[in-house]
Amino acid sequence: MGTGAASRRPAASARPPAGAAWALVTALTVHNAEEALTMGPFLRSGAAVGPVAPGPDLLVPFLVVVTALTVGAWLLAGAATAGRRWAGDALAVLAVVMVVNVVVPHVPGALLTGGYVPGVVSAVVVNLPVALAYLRRARRRRQGAETSL
């Protein structure tokens, strides 16, 4: 193989389809927006999730982290659709984290508080189906790439 840029690019099957990558980070953005918009009132309510009752002083750090994660996810999707294998792998990890995030903390948090916790609606209605679809598609893509070798 040559040493040019073309030889460093992954096969097309290793690159996630642009639509799937952008759908994944859009779902994450919707979820993070729901959390950002509802976290302030939730923290001010003093609602406890288990033994923890976080206070309103956590809002600014939370918003900084959520914003950084959202921007990072968009940059990751850009890198993945540009053919960076590591970024495509990282998007698959992000999809797994989005699925796990439904199970911990959103659904149990809602059950423990007896109501709403920030992000629970979009976690279940948006993130779960989009992330699962992304992972199914990534698995089929990998299986197809393995059989073509």
* Partners of 49 in the β-ladder: 52
Task: Determine the Cα angle at 124 with ends 118 and 128, to 5°.
Answer: 125
Closest residue by Cα to residue 26 from 82, 109, 86, 95: 95
Query: Is pLDDT of 7 > 50?
Result: no
Query: Is pLDDT of 8 > 90?
Result: no
Give the tens place of pLDDT for each residue, 18-48: 999 999 999 999 999 999 999 999 988 887 6
| Domain regions of the chain by residue span | 16-48+55-147
In the predicted model, what is the mean pLDDT of the chain? 87
Position 40, amino acid: G
For residue 43, the model assigns a pLDDT of: 87
For residue 40, the model assigns a pLDDT of: 92
63 close to 39: Cβ distance less than 8 angstroms: yes
